Structures are given as structure tokens and as C-alpha cells.
Amino acid sequence: MVKIADIELGEFPLLLAPMEDVSDPPFRALCKEQGCDIMYTEFISVEGLIRDATKSVEKLDIFDYERPIGIQIFGANIESMVKAADIVEAAQPELLDINFGCPVKKVTCKGAGAGILQDIPKMVELTKAIVDRTNLPVTVKTRLGWDNKTQYIEEVAERLQDVGIKALSIHGRTRQQMYKGEADWTLIGAIKDNPRISIPIFGNGDIDSPQKAEAYRNRYGVDGIMIGRAAIGNPWIFREIKHYFATGETLPPPNIDERVDAARDHLRRSLDWKGPKLGVLEMRRHYTNYFRGMPGVKEYRKTLVSEYEAETLFATLEEMREVYAGVTAQ
């Protein structure tokens, strides 16, 4: 049984990675239904939180059906991070997660996200300040290092554990790599082999199939796997991995009914949570992924990403259900 503090997550948990503009409540609901064990919010700016910025505060919305869930924050100012920790605790998640891995320039140039990998002592100091401040279990998500010359993740893991974090998720790339090239899990495995490490270690990066999930589980000995981009438009990946682990069998890809049902449910939840305008606009990034591989889908996709009326979008999805009945994705 893998546990973060007192939170039981099963024998080998699957985690949904926090992704900006993706892992919002509508999307998280679908992933939970498909077997995701623990999820995180989109990352939230601490400066936005302490200034009561609407966009940041809205990301604190969590629902009972999502639990256990972690709220993830990012920032570089210790005073702001500590104040934000109080706000997060008041929202009553199960976990508070610190983002030390975002590679985007507008975040790193301020010393936040993966930017703090250039200042490991500050990274540790900031983490300790939050651990000391909150009653919530604190977890961290980070990368191997800033670049190939500064892959200090083994030292970082020990030092963060020593100041009290309860779990560590590691993306197998440096900040310099962004999302390019193949993720290297070698150092993640080395951390799991370190006898000093007692907290759960979760691997992240490039897991896009049940077969790869099993291979990396066996090769690197991680306590669980965090899935990010491979879940976009594909919440079924969680159930597919779990089924493969249990039976050794590969489930068939979702049929058109499952794809349409997921897209409809996602759109409905998006409308309910974001309203009729944003609910429609922010769904557009998902349709391509839901219907990837369906032959001749281009014309339908044009409608889905340009239409403003929800009724027309729902009608288009139902038309696709009829047209693609019995068709398998290529």
C-alpha cells in the first residue's frame, strides 16, 4: 500500500499531472471516473492567490468526488508562498503540492517553477517554510535539474525529504529540454534505490501506453506513475493501464460512443463551471485529442473549434456518433 502521510493510494497509484489549462475540474472528473487515483489542480500563482486574483482563486475549486486531491502552487517569494499555504489549507484539499518543475520562461525567469533548480538552497528553504507553516502533507513536483550539467535531483530528493515533504514526483527531463527528447528515468530509479529515501517517489514523463507503464514500473521501481500529456483527450489511459496490470491484456481503443460521451460530458461540465462563453472556448483544445485517428474527422473538427453555440456543438457530436458508428480509430 502506497501512502502519502496517512492517505492510502493503493498498491501502485496512477496520478494525473497538474497541467495549466487542462487539469481543471471538468477534465479531472473524467480522469477520476476512469480510475485515476490522485489528481492535482492546475498550478496556481501564489502572487495571484494572496492578491485575490479571480483566475487564481477559481483554481482552488475542488469537489468531493475528486478526493484525494492536491492543490499545486508556484512562486519564488518565501513570504508569499507561506501566505498562500494558509489560503490553500482553508480550501481543504488532502495535499499541498509545490511546483518546482514548470519550464515556461515567464515562470522560470522569476525564479519560480523549474527556475528554482538554479538555487537549490533556496528551494530547500522555501519548502521547509511551507512544511513548517501548514498542517497539510506537502509534496513536490520537479525535474532532474536545470540542464545536463546540473542534474542534482538525488541530492534534492534527500534534502527535501529531510525538511518534511511526504512524496516527490519527478519529471525525467531537465528544464533545458522542456518537453523535447526522451524522458530519462535513470536518476528516478537511482533515488528509489537510495536506502535513505523513505517517501513515495512517482515517475513522470513519456508514459503513453499500458505496456510502457509496466516496463517503467518494473525497471525503475517507482511507487506510482504520474501521467500528463498522454491523458489529454484520453482519460481512458488510466483504466487501460490498470486493466493491463491486472490481466496482461490490452483493452480495445474507445469506440465512438465512448469518445462522444466523454466529449459531451466534458463540454457539459465545462459549461457548468466556466459559463457559456469560456466553457465553449476552452473546450476547443480538447476535441482533436478526443477524436484523434478517426478518418475524415477534419470537417467536424472545424465546426467544433469554431462554433460558439453549445446546442450546435452537442448536435455535431451526436452526428459524429451516427456517422462513425462501427468505425475504429486509425
Active site residues: 102
Distance set, CA 130 to CA 77, 127, 133, 139 (Å): 11, 5, 5, 10
Q: Which residues of 185-198 are buried (b: 16+ CB within 10 A; e: fewer)?
A: bebbbebbeeeebe
Q: Which residues of 124-155 are buried (b: 16+ CB within 10 A; e: fewer)?
A: bebbbbbbebbebbbbbbbbbbbeeeebbbbe
What single string gives the DSSP state of each residue in 5-51? TTEE--SS-EEEPP-TTTSSHHHHHHHHHTT--EEEPPPEEHHHHHT
Q: Is 298 annotated as a binding residue?
A: no
> Which residue from 201, 215, 4 is spatially nearest to 96, judged by alpha carbons?
4
Q: Is 171 annotated as a binding residue?
A: yes
C-alpha dihedral sign at 278, 109, 180, 189:
negative
Q: How far is CA 220 from the centre of its chain?
A: 20
Q: Is 301 annotated as a binding residue?
A: no
CA distance 192 to 243: 25
Q: Which residues are annotated as a binding site for FMN?
A: 72, 141, 171, 228-229
